[in-house]
């Protein structure tokens, strides 16, 4: 598995998951429980992981989809 996104922003994470799911790329979210254990203070970022074989395609999709993210963060 490869880390494709690391963020404290739950909206960005859910958006990225939806983009990849729409493209047929399975994702796994790491550190969800660690993030919750910190008291939901968003100290520990969550990581979105994909299979090694999907890494390049997922990076391309997210680069395009999140290119204007500074407008909504």
Residues 11-46 pLDDT 10s? 999 999 999 999 999 999 998 777 566 565 667 888
Q: In this structure, what are the phi and psi dihedrals at residue 3, rounded to the nearest 5 degrees?
A: -75, 125
Where exactly are the structural domains of the chain?
Answer: 2-63
CATH superfamily of 2-63: UreE, C-terminal domain (3.30.70.790)
Mean pLDDT, the chain, rounded, equals 86
* Contact by Cβ (8 Å): 1, 50: yes
Q: Model-level pTM?
A: 0.79
| Residues 5 and 54: beta-carbon distance below 8 Å | no
């Amino acid at each position: 598995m490869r880390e494709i996104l690391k963020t404290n922003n739950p909206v960005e994470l859910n958006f990225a998951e939806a983009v990849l799911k729409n493209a047929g790329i399975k994702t796994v979210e790491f550190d969800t429980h660690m993030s919750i254990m910190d008291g939901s203070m968003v100290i520990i970022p969550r990581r979105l992981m994909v299979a090694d074989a999907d890494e390049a395609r997922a990076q391309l999709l997210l680069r395009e989809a999140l290119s204007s993210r500074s407008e909504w963060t």
